[in-house]
Amino acid sequence: MGPAAPATAHIVGPVPVVARAAALAGILAGLLLVAARFLPYVDVGGVAVTPGHGPLDVAAALLWPGVVIAAGASVVLKRLPRLGLAVLAGSGALAIGLAVGELYQLQGAMAHRAVEVFFGQRLVTTSVDPLGGVWVHLAAYLLLVVALALILVGWPRTTMEDAGDFDAARPLTMGLAAVAALVGVLAVAAKPQAAPDRIVQDATGFRTTVEVAGEVSVLDRLGLDLAGGVLLAAAVCVVALLAATLRPRLASVGALGGLASYFLSAALLLLLETGRYDDVVVAPGAVLHLLSGGAFAGLTAYCLLARRPPVAPVRVPKRKQPIRSKAVPAGRVRPRRGAPR
């Protein structure tokens, strides 16, 4: 196995204005996502729901926005621009479904389910009033969508190429990406958190198990909540499969790395929020988020470290030496066999 391609093998040309505009939009979106973590999100039945502000919560929440901000900065500084643009493009595709989910929070209580889970807190939605966190999240996701639109225009004009040593590994990468995308789609579609069943005992001592309403899977949602989940699952599948076709190698690394940061951030937040309240437990969706994030992170590392395929040595056949006759002294002619002397 040959050595991995060095970073200096990349040819980087001028970065167009449209690509830098997309990077600035991505940086602003990342900063808004960071700020939204410290704002009250929504008022449900008179209870102002605020995200957790613990050190682990903040660290997990900053994972995805931090990657987005770093990607935008790399494009603005003209350092490996297609790497940063790939991160922003993948994040912008995810932001389409996330933005529709924020539009769902802008609707009144009549459009919501009777009981919903907000940051691990199970509440009865007698009234739903969006607060600053909803509006800032929505603005951040819309900026990422704008960045995606600008990247689609500026990608062909952005010059960045390598030696092409990763091309032989692209079919295997696409197969692995399809498996990781399947896990990601299941993570988005499955129930992320659940409420434990309640055991009720009557006067005679007979016990019955009563199912407690909580979070639901995507197929059990309605309206914009359903549309947001479907669009998010579709974006995960499309970005994962297209990542294997992006050139150069670092563009594939960027797209898959953006997916890994999103799923790992979401998984850690779900686990932290679930452990904060007793009436909510971990559901398959949270576990699948963690598995999907690990799968995309491993695939990102594979794309970054994949080596050149071994080159079989080519054997050149030996040339036959010509048969040399004995030297004949000058002035003498060797008689032919059978000829008279």
> What is the average pLDDT across 242-259?
93
> What is the average pLDDT across 96-103?
95
Q: Where are the domains of the chain?
A: 14-305
Tokens 């996502």 appear where?
Answer: 33
Res 204: pLDDT: 60
| Confidence band, pLDDT 50/70/90 cuts, at residue 11 | confident
Res 327: pLDDT: 54
Higher pLDDT, 270 or 307: 270
Q: What is the mean pLDDT of the chain?
A: 84
Q: Is the pLDDT of residue 310 over 80?
A: no
Which residues have C-beta within 8 Å of that of residue 339, sequence separation ≥ 6? none
Instruction: Give the separation between CA 104 and CA 93, rounded to whole angstroms.
Output: 18
Amino acid letter, 186? L
> What is the average pLDDT across 77-89?
93
High-pLDDT (> 90) share of the chain, %: 54
